[in-house]
Structure 1
Amino acid sequence: MKVKAELRRPIAMVLVFLALILIVIALLVLVLPTLAQTISQLGTVLSTVLTQLRKLLDSSEFVTKDMLSTIVSGIQGQSSSISQALITFLSGLTSNIGNIFSSIMNAFLIIVFTFSFLSSKEHLAAMTSRLLKVIFPEKVVTKLTCIGQVALETYDQFLMSQLIEAVIIGVMIAVGYSVFGIPYGVMTGIFAGVLSFIPYVGPMIACVVGAIFIFTVSPTQALLSLLLYQIIQLIEGNLIYPKVVGQSIGLPALFTLAAASIGGNLFGLLGMIFFTPVFAVIYRLVKEFVVAKENQVD
């Protein structure tokens, strides 16, 4: 039984890494084949939309020929701007593919390092405890050890709750899109699940990208997908994230929302990701301090 207990954590870590790799592979398999097709279809869709809009304006009694000419010229100008922006974006994407790959690898290495750190936390804690005992008095070592244990437990629970939330968000989007007959539901759901590690903003980025793909099939369904996402976002922002993540790390819903907001304003995306567990650690330490002082008074 001792061997099995020792192997339990490494096996769990391997399964987590395999799951992450499978998610990335699935995302690439779903996105890359449709990317070129979507870009090629986008120009055709825009042209069709402009033609239908011009017919609609032609049949209107309230639009004169001069007004029609002005409107069409303006729309064509915007269409050209959009096309040029897409070309510029793709050119930049191609020229900076090395930077993009490097960013992806760095993000993956951070995840690997984090899980590796948590998997060997007992060994690291023992080494740190020995070092602290050599440097500091026993009373200080006890307090520092308590703080370290709170931080490790909080980050461990935070990562697990983020994985649970990623699955919930991905399934909600995939099922919601399928119910309403919106294409690319699975792709958008997987993408949103991966990006859900960025609170609130991550799934929104995924759904906007998904809406671009959907637009090539049906502009109406693209708008419907954004509307459906707003509903899912309300559920995710007000119920799922505060409940799943906040409760798992012992942080009230209000503080969970405040942590993500303050972290995002101060440090951007990284602040949104890591400020929640930092808040949780501070909240728990302050709470334990207050309880200890109250017990001393009693």
Structure 2
Amino acid sequence: MAAVDGSADESVLAATGAFAAQQVRAALELLPSDRVFEIGCGVGRIGTQLAAALAGWHGIDIAENMAALARARVAAHPGATASAVDGPNLEPFADASMDKGYCVAVFIHMDKEDMVLYLREVARVLKPGGLFYFDHWNLSNPVGWQRFAYEVDQVGRGNPAERKDVARNQFCTPEELRLYVRAAGLELVFEDNSAHFAQMVARKPDHALAPGAPSPLPIDPARLTAGAAAAAARLAAVRADIAFSARCVQCFAECCEVLIGGVHPSTVLARWRAEPGPSPDVQLHIAWLEAIWHRHPHLWPPVAA
């Protein structure tokens, strides 16, 4: 987050990390005995929130400097570490060695082929019955589409030779994500597509699934294995703890008014602060937008007195 969101603010890093960690806990039902991995750990934004309560946490990142920072942040927790990898692989982990894993706001920054390769690796390293949570820009959501349209405009105006390989954005439909999960040999046990980010939980089956073409259709409980059906039922009961709230989606759309639409940050911040008892979602976005403004004052003129 610190590397790509522009805030470069430790308090915002902690706040957004805590928010994401809450979603991960609900999605994976983390236990003290769990050994958990994170794909794209960055500086340990989420890992620092989770490591103390786990038997093991291992973050991986393609950037050695990021992995080093994450290692330093979790150094106080036995069993917690981070490693750099040179591509879409989970080489630090043996087959069927990890209980659970997650990837938050990282698959959006890689080619889809690399995401599928990572999902194959997830299927390799998870123990049977293990769960994996991830999210991705949701092209089928109006706010997700708005973010995609901005990306298209940026690419159209930019110099292709200067386009970044990292921190650029990819977008998917839920149908694509279902195909990728199932093609990797995983069972899809949860999805929420109501927000600008699609959220999914996949489960490694107890036994290899029968070969066949992957399906882009939504989850059909009648076609799940017994273990997957039980996981799907549990996740359905905690959907509200995993999914982005409608207010959170609205706040992100309002941030887009600033970052994309040319609205001054002060306008949106004043609107949010005027709300009676701002919700935690609003408070989080206030902190994030303030940090962006503070970090990049040249993007917006001073407010007239």
The two structures share one fold, judged by TM-score above 0.5: no
Q: Provide the TM-score with structure 2 as the length reference.
A: 0.27
Structure with more strand by fraction: 2
